[in-house]
Amino acid sequence: MIELRKVSYAFKGSENDETKAISDIDLEIRQGEFIILLGANGSGKTSLLNLIAGTLEPQTGKIMAEGHDITKLKEHKRCKWIARLFQNPLSGTAPDLSLLENFRIASLRTKFKGLKIGTDEKFRRKVREHVSQLGLGLEMKLDQAVGTLSGGQRQAITLSMAVMDDAKILLMDEPTAALDPKTSEIFMSLTSRIIEERKLSCLFITHQLKNALKYGERIIQLERGKIIRDIQGDKKSKLSLPELFMWFGQ
Amino acid sequence: MSFYLSAVLLGLGFAALAMGIFITMRIFNIPDITTDGTFTLGGALTAVLITGDYSPWLILLPVFFAGAIAGICTGIIHTKLKVNALLAGILVMTALYSVNLGIMNRSNIPLIETASVFDLFTPVLGEMNSQILMLLLFSVILWLLISRLLRTDFGLAMRATGNNEQMIRSMGMDPQVMKVIGIALANGLIAISGFLIVQIQGFADINMGIGIVILGLGSVMIGEIFMNLFKVRSITIHLLGVIGGSILFRLILAFSLTLGIDAIYLKLIVALFVLIVISIPNLKRTK
């Protein structure tokens, strides 16, 4: 699905190997795979996501999506395959636009945004149904400005918007970091349900080890821009919290 | 009475400018000073072409596109050359001063006994009524066009660009392209405002654009006071408020002149007035 071959990236002014943000990474993300990405601060997790999304361009190596070489493709051209959620729950939505209008833009993620008024009754019904699946009662607030909603609600909307169109992979950078424990739990189960239902691949950065254990079928640990652990299937489900904790202790 | 009526007419003439400023300032969060130059550009082209015996209707679109091209220059300087938006606007505005002088070939062109778009209904309604009707028609048509555009899929993407660039990038659009299109559209509207004002006042002047951006800003702000008062969220009504703001602004200026304030101080009054309108919401917030 998405494949990284010998991808390296160093921030400007740090050309030597020691400070490479990402160093010669090979990674294959298969269709429908929910991958947890662990690593200490500065280990290169966000850089890895940025490389896949196209925010950063690798200095060496190749990035492929469904057989296409997308290494040089700009961020807004990759969204055919890739949808993204950020740590800041506010960064995925336009606050002054209504819920309905935000969803309209999302529904055209990979399509041309033309001179048609697309927020008609038919679309409203579609969004109402789509949003009601979140179970947050947001279907009653379709005409409300998104900026008036809470961070948790906005993050859930961003997730819901991301899967409105048919993206293949979700990149999530600590999407629950700014949410309270309860909202965070609701959001996590929502995420895993949506990923499963829509057979999406997901690369999920988290610092919450409990979530790392509970969700996903593959777990990858980064350290200094390299993959130092890659555990999947049965071995992943047998991991324990103290064991995970030890990964960071050495 | 006709004193206030002419204030209303000027307000309608400036409505296109106010809508242009609404697009750059409110939708894209860009303070676009190109305005001072494009307003004069629209006026200069209109005066030169009308005195050259071109039909005023024929020149409407070219005037719009001339303004849009100036906007594209500012937009590209800002997005591609990464120059601060304010500075990009000042650069293009400065360059436009020479361009406008070049177009006009002198600093003032009077329009005496020339054709104007306001003549259309003169045979039926008389000169004054025809002018009122035409200005109303212009404002309403532009209002409907722009508010419709802003509700289309493209318009939504434009509004989201000013709101959240990161989002629009992950939604498959290039925010830089959106900005250039937005600034171009705004300056096209501003040039149309110059086109109308020149025909209302009967002359074009090289200095007619000085400080005009503040006028548009003031109109947008006055409109917003009412929008906040009535908690309006519809973009269509919001734009109507901007047009209303433009008229109200003119009426307030006319009123202050009747109080006996010397016309020399008009710009000072405008600046003070806009300052008050801008700072009221901020003062409330700090309480």
B169 → chain A, closest CA residue: A76
Range with lowest mean pLDDT among A119-123, B12-16, B38-42: A119-123
Strand blocks (E) in B122-228: 203-205
CA-based nearest distance B182→chain A, Å: 14
pLDDT given for residue B26 in this prediction: 92
The A201-205 sheet, strands edge to edge: A82-85, A169-173, A201-205, A34-39, A218-223, A226-232
A:B CB pairs within 8 Å: 90
Domain with residue B68: its CATH number is: 1.10.3470
pLDDT given for residue A166 in this prediction: 75
3-state secondary structure of B204: strand
pLDDT given for residue A18 in this prediction: 56
Does residue A177 belong to the interface with chain B, where contact is any CB pair within 8 Å?
Answer: no
Name the pLDDT band for A168 (thresholds 50, 70, 90): confident
Tell me the C-alpha distance between B47 and B199, whole Å: 8
A210-232 pLDDT, tens per residue? 899 999 999 999 998 999 999 99
- Looking at 3.40.50.920, 3.30.70.2740, 3.40.50.300, 3.40.30.10, the CATH number of the domain A1-81+167-250 comes to 3.40.50.300
Phi-psi domain of B274 (left: phi exceeds 0; alpha: psi -120 through 50; beta: other): alpha
pLDDT above 80 (res B215): yes
DSSP B211: T
Q: How many CB atoms lie within 10 A of CB A112?
A: 10
**Nearest by Cα to A9 from A41, A44, A38, A53:** A44
Phi-psi domain of B119 (left: phi exceeds 0; alpha: psi -120 through 50; beta: other): alpha
pLDDT above 90 (res B217): yes
Counting runs of H as helices and runs of E as strands, what totals does chain A give? 9, 10
Range with lowest mean pLDDT among A13-17, A22-26, A88-92, B239-243: A13-17
pLDDT given for residue B260 in this prediction: 85
Does residue B177 belong to the interface with chain A, where contact is any CB pair within 8 Å?
Answer: no
Say which residues have a Cβ less than 8 Å from residue B169's Cβ, sequence separation at least 6: A75, A76, B175
Tell me the C-alpha distance between B234 and B158, whole Å: 16
pLDDT given for residue A14 in this prediction: 59
CA dihedral over B234, B239, B240, B242, signed as positive or negative: positive
A158 → chain B, closest CA residue: B167
Check CB contact under 8 Å for A113 and B159. Answer: no
Check CB contact under 8 Å for B170 and A75. Answer: yes
> Of all residues in chain A, what percent carry a pLDDT higher than 90?
46
| β-bridge partners, A226 | A223
Question: In one letter, which amino acid is B111?
Answer: L
Domain-wise residue ranges, chain A: 1-81+167-250, 92-166
Task: Tell me which residue has tokens 């294959």.
Answer: A28
Name the pLDDT band for A198 (thresholds 50, 70, 90): confident
Tell me the C-alpha distance between B270 and B212, whole Å: 10
pLDDT given for residue A202 in this prediction: 95
B77-126 pLDDT, tens per residue? 999 999 999 999 999 999 999 999 999 999 999 999 899 999 989 889 98
Tell me the C-alpha distance between B67 and B41, whole Å: 7
Q: What are the CA-CA distances from residue B18 to residues A17, B21, B156 (Å)? A: 55, 5, 20
Name the pLDDT band for A17 (thresholds 50, 70, 90): low
pLDDT above 70 (res B1): no
Does residue A143 belong to the interface with chain B, where contact is any CB pair within 8 Å?
Answer: yes
List the Cα angle A31/A37/A42 in 5-degree steps: 140
Q: Which of A81-95, A118-132, B63-77, B116-130 has the highest mean pLDDT?
A: B63-77
Which residues of chain B neighbour A157 with C-beta distances below 8 Å? Answer: none
State the residue range of the domain holding B157. Answer: 2-286
Name the pLDDT band for B285 (thresholds 50, 70, 90): low
CA-based nearest distance B34→chain A, Å: 26
| Average pLDDT of the residues of chain A | 89
Which residues of chain B neighbour A99 with C-beta distances below 8 Å? Answer: none
CA-based nearest distance B77→chain A, Å: 21
A29-54 pLDDT, tens per residue? 999 999 999 999 989 999 999 999 99
> Of all residues in chain B, what percent carry a pLDDT higher than 70?
99
Say which residues have a Cβ less than 8 Å from residue A47's Cβ, sequence separation at least 6: A9, A21, A22, A56, A225
With contact defined as beta carbons under 8 Å apart, do B249 and B222 qualify?
yes
Q: In chain B, how many domains are there?
A: 1
**Which H or E run contains A3?**
strand A2-9
Average pLDDT over residues B33-39: 97
pLDDT above 70 (res B287): no
Tell me the C-alpha distance between B180 and B275, whole Å: 28
Which residues of chain B neighbour A94 with C-beta distances below 8 Å? Answer: 159-160, 163-164, 167-168
Tell me the C-alpha distance between B195 and B43, whole Å: 5
pLDDT above 80 (res B68): yes
